Amino acid sequence: MAELKVNLCGIEMDNPIIPASGTFGYGYEFAELYDINILGTFSFKGTTKEPRFGNPTPRIAECTAGMINAVGLQNPGVEKVISEELPKLKACFHKPVMANVSGFSVEDYAYTCEKLNACPEIGWFEVNVSCPNVHGGGMSFGTSPEAAAEVTRAVKKVTTKPVLIKLSPNVTDIVSIAKACEEAGADGISLINTMLGMRIDLRTRRPVIANKMGGFSGSAIFPVAVRMVYHVAQAVKIPVVGMGGVTTAEDVIEMMLAGATAVQVGAANLVDPFACKKIIEDLPAAMEKYRMTSLREIIGGIQ
């Protein structure tokens, strides 16, 4: 019988499937469609210290084998997430959830994580370090090992739960950034976030989204994600959560062979709200096809 359970930073999960932040809201919308407790967990919508309306529209565009989005971290702010969103989440999801946190300064990250740390529903923090650092000349935290490490240390000081740092692929050397986060105390690494993409409307000769550029995700980026997960998993001793273009049970197995302990599914949820459910249901047959009995045993099993 196929064994789907994995252990992520000390927390056992029924399976490695995690809907990615920004593609699953706070869970209760999907709970109207199916029992979301079949998931390993999910990463809820990126949360910031203050409420954010996000970027101007249009901010989502379809493209070949993927999509571009520049939503801009639209969310109600941490206070309302705690008072309004988490109670609704708790009513339909009975496992530890992953809290995705973004910020525009080190202090923002620390403040938001400290507030959320007191919430019993939260099992892990996923700290997204690809937002602009407005206190540092507009650089992104995730493009500098030093800046990523600074955020990691600040968050670890105010939290008692595992902290995973979510890295951007839009860098020259993602391994050095991952290693800096590990040395600063990170309990795990999530990768990859979206790649930077752009499309132009030939009729108007204007970018198809108001922000000009946005995050490119979808099946087209899967080979890049597998390569980066492999390189990072080889370089660090902490767990890696892989994501980027995952759409099938076979993709999940491939990502785990590359070194991922758990696997997030993002853009596929926006195409098919049952995508994660189908992947979980398909995993046992895929494992049998490739003569695998335990997912835990194939992590980093590339030959």
| Distance separating alpha carbons of residues 110 and 101, to the nearest angstrom | 10
Catalytic residue among 9, 113, 131, 181: 131
Q: Dmax of the chain from CA atoms?
A: 56
**Block residue for tokens 């550029």:** 213
| Distance separating alpha carbons of residues 64 and 158, to the nearest angstrom | 42
The three-point CA angle 227-231-232 to 5° equals: 120
DSSP character for 169?
S
| Distance separating alpha carbons of residues 139 and 137, to the nearest angstrom | 6
Q: Which amino acid is at 157?
A: K
**Using N-to-C axis directions, what is the helix angle for 249-257 and 222-235, rounded to 10°?**
30
Instruction: Tell me which H or E stretch contains 176.
Output: helix 174-183
276 catalytic residue (yes or no)? no
| Dihedral class, residue 240 (left if φ above 0, else alpha if ψ from -120 to 50, else beta) | beta
The three-point CA angle 257-39-123 to 5° equals: 90
The candidate with the shortest Cα–Cα distance to 209, out of 16, 9, 72, 27, is: 72
193 and 270 Cβ atoms separated by less than 8 Å: no
The candidate with the shortest Cα–Cα distance to 127, out of 146, 110, 144, 143, is: 110
Catalytic residues: 131
